[in-house]
Amino acid sequence: MTEKHHIIQVWFFVGVLLLVYGFLIFASGLAEWSHPPNTVLAELHAPVWWGGLLFVLGLIYCIKFSPARKS
């Protein structure tokens, strides 16, 4: 077999997804920091730490499964 197919792993797309969602949620958490929404436990600022967690996980996946990285 001479032809080599290069398939981007699904884990890379998982990373991109988490990265984008993490960033958006983190940013929305910062935007509402001084004016928290009318929800229960709004003072905990869950979007900031949950969005941050998603962003970091997404970043790790993106780097680890990057198509540019040789396996």
Partner 1 sequence: MTILMSGVNMYAMAVVMKVVLGWNINFSIWLSSLTVGIYVAAGGLFSAIFNEVLQFFLIWFGALIIPILGLIETGGWKGMVARIQQNFPGQDYTHAWSTLGRFQDNPMGMHWTGIVFGLGAVQAMGYWTTDFLVVQRVLSAKDIRSAKMAPIIGSFFKMAVPLIVILPGLLGLAVLPMHLVPASSLQPGQYSYNEVLPLMLARYCGPGLLGLGITALVAGFMAGMAGNVSASATVWTYDIYRPFLRKTAPDQHYVSMGRWCTLIGLFVSIGTAYLAMGFASIMDYVQALFGFFIAPLFGTVLLGMLWKRVSCAAGFWGLLAGTLSSVTMFTLMKLDHRWVGVFALSPNAQGLAQDMYQALWSCVTCVVVTVLVTLVTKPRPDEELKGLVYALTEVAHEEHTSFLRRPLFWGVAAVAVLVVLQIIFW
| Helix, strand, coil percent content, the chain, rounded in steps of 5 | 60, 0, 40
The reply to whether 25 sits near partner 1 by the rule CB under 8 A is yes
Q: Which of residues 32-71 bind partner 1 (CB under 8 A)?
A: 32, 36-37, 39-42, 44, 46-47, 50-51, 54
Number of other residues whose CB lies within 10 A of the CB of residue 51: 21
CB contact at 8 A, 22 and 57: yes
The reply to whether 7 sits near partner 1 by the rule CB under 8 A is no
Of 31 and 69, which CB lies nearer to partner 1 in the complex structure?
A: 31
Interface residue list for partner 1 (CB under 8 A): 10, 13-14, 17-18, 21, 24-25, 27-29, 32, 36-37, 39-42, 44, 46-47, 50-51, 54
